[in-house]
Amino acid sequence: MLVPFIKMHAQGNDFVVIDFFANDLDVSNFEVLAAAICARHFGVGADGLVLMKPTAQADARMKIYNSDGSCAEMCGSALRCVASLLLKRFRSKTVSILTDSGLKTATADDENIKVNLGQAAIVQEDMQVEGFKGDLVDIGNPHFIIFGADLDHDPHLKYGAMLEHHPIFPTSVNVHFVKILDRQNIRIKIWENAVGATLACGTGAASTVFAGIQKGLLDNKVRVDLPGGVVNIRYEEQSGDIYLIGPVSEVFVGKYQWKI
C-alpha cells in the first residue's frame, strides 16, 4: 500500500502527517503503521505519526501516534503543524482542531503559528523522585519539570528514561530539565514520553513556563530555547489560557510503501 504523507517539523520535533482531506486510506492498524513509518533508519523517520481528518465538530480532527505506536493525548508541536496546513487549506485566519485533550484553536502570527493550548494544572509540586525535585504538570498530557538543572551534561539522556517510567507517577511522563536564564528566558532539554530525547516539545515548553510562573520565577511572556530552536509562551492570567507561538516547516511530501 502506498501511503501519501507530508513530512513536517516544529523546532526539530518532526512528524509524518497524513492528510485525510486529500486521501482516503483503508488502514485499520495505525499503531503498526506509526511504528513502521516513524522508524529512523527503516522508515521515513519521525517522532510521531499525525492524522488530520475531517470532522463535523471542528475544522479538523487530529490524532497522534508516538514513534513506538502508542497514542499521545496531546502535542503542541504537532498541533502547530496541523494548524499550518489547515490555515492554508481554508485560507482562514483562525482554525479549530479537535484533539484527544479537547478543542484547540490556532491562528497565523506573522511567520509563526500561534495555538491556544488551554489551561494547565499543577498536579503535585516539589515531588522528590530519585534525588530530583520537580513539579508534575498536566496540560492534556503529563510533564515532570526539574528546575535548576545543569544542561551541559545532558541529564535527559542519563535520567530521562528512568524518570519517564518511575512508579511514583500514575502514568509515564514527559521529563524536562530546565535552566532559568532570567525571568523571560529559559533553556530546556527534553525526554519525551514514548519517544526519547527530542529537539522540541510544545506542551513541555508551555508546562515549564506555567510551573515557573506559579513558583514566582518567570513572567507571563517567556522565550524558550529548545535544542531544535526557539518558541514563545504567553500566559493569560485572567483566562488561564496558555499560548504556544513558533514557526513550523514543511520538509517534503512523499509516498511510503507500507508492506502489510
92 burial (CB, 10 Å; 0-12 / 13-18 / 19+) is: middle
Domain ranges of the chain: 2-116+247-257, 121-240
Express each pLDDT in 41-96 by its tens digit: 999 999 999 999 999 999 999 999 999 999 999 999 999 999 999 999 999 999 99
- pLDDT of res. 210: 98
The whole model's pTM is what? 0.97
Task: Provide the percentage of residues in the chain whose pLDDT is more than 70.
Answer: 100
CA distances from 46 to 3, 89, 157, 228 (A): 15, 23, 19, 14
Same fold, 2-116+247-257 and 121-240: yes
Provide the mean pLDDT of the chain: 97
What is the CATH superfamily name and number for domain 121-240?
Diaminopimelate Epimerase; Chain A, domain 1 (3.10.310.10)
38 as an active site residue: the answer is: no
Express each pLDDT in 6-39 by its tens digit: 999 999 999 999 999 999 888 889 999 999 999 9
Distance between CA 32 and CA 169 in Å, rounded? 27
> Which CATH class name applies to 2-116+247-257?
alpha beta
At residue 47, the 3 state secondary structure works out as: coil
At residue 45, the 3 state secondary structure works out as: coil
71 as an active site residue: the answer is: no
